Amino acid sequence: MKNKNKLYNQYNKPLVSDESSNFTDNLSPEIQALIETRLNSAIDDLREKNRDDLKELNKAHTRKWKWITFISCTITVITFFYAPKEIYSWIKETVAKELTVPEIEKSAKKMIQEKMIEFVDNKMEPLNTQANKLKTSAEKVQDKLLSMETNLKKEQKNLTHQLEIYKLSLAAKAGSRKAYNKLLEEQKTNPSDLLNYSIKNIELFYDADRSELSYKKVVSKETMKDPGYSTDELVYFLKNSNVLSLAAINSLGDLKSKSTIKELCDIALNSNNLRLATRATKYIEEITEEKIRPLDFDSVEIFWNNNKNNIEYLGDYDGYFNFIQQSPGKTISTHNIELFISELDKTISTDPNAYASKCLKANLLLYLNKIEAAKKIIKEVLEKKRDYRWALVYNAATKIKESKLDDAIKIINNSFDKYPLAELENEIRSNSLFKPIVTDKRIKWPSLKIKNNHNLY
């Protein structure tokens, strides 16, 4: 099969084949051969022309690149010799311009502004995450601590309350009525098992205290024995001496005098000393046979309201108190003596056992030279209390008034043998009734015995 040449357009795509044309189908073979020969010849000429054009085009392009290469070489040579000096100047100028402190600071600030936020965010993000976790944990811990703090405050409050009750209980046992009353008030407003137990424990304590077999009593410091104090003397100690009050009420209770009930009820209802008040309830019960518990002050109040007009219970000791407090500073005169006697009569008329008041009245009567009246009083006292010390002393004074000095000295020495007391010696030395015998050497003064005893050592 004969090869056929193909024609191509400017886009290097083949032109439409001759075979696609129908007009050649009717030509004779000779004509077709001629046409084909001519076409082939034309194609060959065209090829030659294209080859020549390509050579010319190649020359033109080669010439252009030769100039470019020459210029590049020239620039390279010039740059090799000229550029170092210019680069040095350029670097120097750039450094001077761009790397000065203000420019560096400006560049640094710009870099910081551009990069720092992102940098900080990147660095802080894990920290923020960790901080949030810690915050959450801290909030949980805080809530737990708040809960624990609330519970702790509650427990602390309860513990403080319990400690306060314990302190009040101890204070009440030590004799503080204020502490005991506070416990009773607390029981009404805020009852609790601890309060009930504390109050019951205090009651048992004073029940046991009442059942003791021996108590402190008032004694003389010289003999450490009871010299036979009378009711008015003991009431004076009870009302006027905080040191002797508890011992005085015990000694007073032993006398079981109904005349002292008023004073005992006053102590039970009004004394701030709880131990003293409970002893008062003890002796009220023993004297009146009323059933009264140690701390049952309500029963005492009821009893007194029902018996406050009973003459047996209304001993008035103010007269004796007034004499004791006023007589040392008063001048011995008939007027003052009569005033003192009237004061003492207030006590004597309400308490038949006020022996001290009776003896003091006898002493005052002797100043008025009412010897028989004085002797009668002293006799009554000695019949009831044979060795009462003040009756013995003022009995000696009656003997002096009767000029029986030997009998007076004998009575005084017998008194000192039984009661070697400083109070008796002081009374005899200071009372003008005894002036006739004070210097008599036959008197056995207690102070001389003590001095002689000291000289033995």
Contact 165, 199 (CB under 8 A): no
- How is residue 224 annotated by DSSP? S
Could you give the C-alpha distances from 96 to 99, 110, 202, 420, in angstroms and in order? 6, 19, 101, 124
Phi, psi of 14 (to 5 degrees): -65, 140
Residue spans of beta strands (DSSP E) within 207-313: none
Please report, rounded to a whole number, the percentage of residues in the chain having pLDDT higher than 90.
56
Tens of pLDDT, residues 243-275: 999 999 999 999 999 999 999 999 999 999 999
Contact 218, 234 (CB under 8 A): yes
Q: What is the per-residue DSSP string for 382-450?
A: HHHSTT-HHHHHHHHHHHHHTT-HHHHHHHHHHHHHH---HHHHHHHHH-GGGTTTTT-TT---HHHHH
Q: What average pLDDT does this structure show over 390-409?
A: 96
Distance from C-alpha of 122 to C-alpha of 117, rounded to nearest angstrom:
8
Contact 272, 253 (CB under 8 A): no
Q: How many CB atoms lie within 10 A of CB 347?
A: 27
Tens of pLDDT, residues 277-300: 999 999 999 999 999 999 999 999
The pLDDT score that the predictor gives to residue 49 is 76
Q: Which has more pLDDT, 357 or 34?
A: 357
Contact 363, 341 (CB under 8 A): no
Whether the model pTM is above 0.85: no
Distance from C-alpha of 65 to C-alpha of 243, rounded to nearest angstrom:
138
Q: Which residue type occupies 391?
A: A
Tens of pLDDT, residues 82-116: 666 666 676 666 666 655 656 667 776 777 666 66
What b/e string do you get for 285-323 counting C-beta neighbours within 10 Å, with b at 16 or more? bebbeeebbbbbbebbeebbeebeeeeebbbbbebbbbb
Mean pLDDT of the chain: 84
Q: Which residue type occupies 368?
A: L
Distance from C-alpha of 153 to C-alpha of 159, rounded to nearest angstrom:
10
For helices 446-455 and 422-430, the axis angle rounded to 10 degrees is 130
Tens of pLDDT, residues 309-336: 999 999 999 999 999 988 775 566 788 8
Coarse DSSP helix, strand, coil percentages of the chain, rounded to the nearest 5 percent: 75, 0, 25
Max mean pLDDT range (63-67, 191-195, 208-212, 390-394): 390-394
Contact 356, 232 (CB under 8 A): yes
Contact 251, 225 (CB under 8 A): no
